[in-house]
Amino acid sequence: MAPTILIVGATGNTGRATVQTLSKLVETSRTFSGHRLLALTRSSKSSVAQQFAKLSHVEVEEFHWPDITADWLREREVTRAFIASHNQPNQFAEESTFHLAALAAGVEYVVRISTTAANVHPDCKAYYPRTHWAIETMLSAPEFTNLHWTSLQPNIFSTFYLSAAAELIKKYRKTGNQEPLQLLASSDGPVGVIDPNDVGIIAAHLLTQEDSSVHNKAKYVLNGPEDISGNQIVKMVEEHIGTKVENVTFKDISFVDQMAAASQESKNVILSIQHAPETAWEGRCTASTTSKEILDLAAPKRTPAEVLNTLLEE
């Protein structure tokens, strides 16, 4: 068996581009050309997983990642790993167990997906950024010195930020009728939303750096190439439908109530998600905050307009 780069969450938002980009980078790398890429998925029969199996150096394995142990990693000769965890209330327990197993197995380097940098602090009102803060704090402890790691702190994904706009356009084209446009964005607040594919591309470039110590313990801020406000989203919608948007709501967080109603978790915890967009509304999540190292390594390229066009094709 060859030394292995593990991709946890391979078929998710950021994992897909990570696998695809790694396949290209490994193919042309003198250091990593002998490595295999192990794409972990919940279903090896999914269309995305089957596409992965056709890529150079990629093998697909169906496995529940929270069950990963140090022995499991050793058996597969994992030397580097990518992990895009869920953000459920038990995230810390499951992701920290993965990192502990990586440490025990002698994994050299882990690239993980965090969340919006402005929220990652111990007194964030939303629960899941506190989890990311706790994981990053744990990894920074002396006990984890032998495990190199980088935490990517991407802004809100443009696919989510623009999904309501895309749905209105699609329905209008089909029926000629407008439904209310409910946007998470504030009317004027500029936000550097980022395409999750750009995040995956960055992760792949990091995983194929010869010297991981250069990025060890780094927490990099990731934004898209340009800012967008709610008013600008409305303007894009109007350009696509050829008429004025009749009814728009900004700062719409009604989806959080729906999540809380459907969840078996503490309602108080789930409802705290409604505070997550506040830093964006305050103008603290602009494209200008992107880490210089990211701009030098693999600067995000996909604009909101390009992402919206892609959503309209789906």
- The beta strand positions in 25-108, using DSSP E, are 36-41, 58-62, 78-83
| Shared domain check, 172 and 92 | no
Tell me if 32 is assigned to some domain.
yes
Q: What angle do CA 148, 150, 90 make, to 5 degrees?
A: 100
| Shared domain check, 164 and 96 | no
| Shared domain check, 218 and 73 | yes
CA–CA dist 297, 42 (Å, integer): 31
Q: Classify the C-alpha dihedral 245-251-257-260 as positive or negative.
A: positive
Centre a 10 Å sphere on the Cβ of residue 243 and count the other Cβ atoms it contains: 10
CATH number at residue 295: 3.40.50.720
From 23, 31, 29, select the one nearest 7 (Cα to Cα).
Answer: 23
Q: How many domains does the chain have?
A: 2
Instruction: Write down the pLDDT at residue 285.
Output: 98
Q: Give the chain's residues under pLDDT 50.
A: none
CA–CA dist 260, 207 (Å, integer): 36
Beta carbons within 8 Å of 257's beta carbon, 6+ residues apart = 271
| Shared domain check, 73 and 200 | yes
| Shared domain check, 218 and 107 | yes
Classified as helix, coil or strand, 65 is helix
Tokens representing residue 33 in the block: 């050309």
Instruction: Write down the pLDDT at residue 45.
Output: 81
- Between helix 304-313 and helix 163-175 the angle, nearest 10°, is 50
Tell me if 244 is assigned to some domain.
yes
239 strand-pairing partners: none
Which domain does 251 fall in, by range? 159-189+226-281
- Between helix 230-241 and helix 304-313 the angle, nearest 10°, is 50
Tell me if 99 is assigned to some domain.
yes
Tell me if 314 is assigned to some domain.
no
| Shared domain check, 209 and 60 | yes
- The string of pLDDT tens digits covering residues 173-224 is 999 999 999 999 999 999 999 999 999 999 999 999 999 999 999 999 999 9
Given a contact cutoff of 8 angstroms between Cβ atoms, the answer to whether 46 and 62 are in contact is: no
End-to-end CA distance of the chain: 39
| Shared domain check, 74 and 207 | yes
- The string of pLDDT tens digits covering residues 298-309 is 999 999 999 999
Instruction: Write down the pLDDT at residue 42.
Output: 87
Instruction: Write down the pLDDT at residue 43.
Output: 82
CA–CA dist 266, 79 (Å, integer): 37
Instruction: Write down the pLDDT at residue 151.
Output: 98
| Shared domain check, 119 and 95 | yes
2, amino acid identity: A
Q: What is the pTM of this model?
A: 0.96
Tell me if 311 is assigned to some domain.
no
* Helix, strand, coil content of the chain in percent (nearest 5): 45, 15, 40
Tell me if 313 is assigned to some domain.
no
Instruction: Write down the pLDDT at residue 1.
Output: 75
Tell me if 295 is assigned to some domain.
yes
| Shared domain check, 269 and 131 | no
| Shared domain check, 148 and 185 | no
CA–CA dist 6, 128 (Å, integer): 24
| Shared domain check, 242 and 167 | yes
| Shared domain check, 253 and 119 | no
Tell me if 305 is assigned to some domain.
no
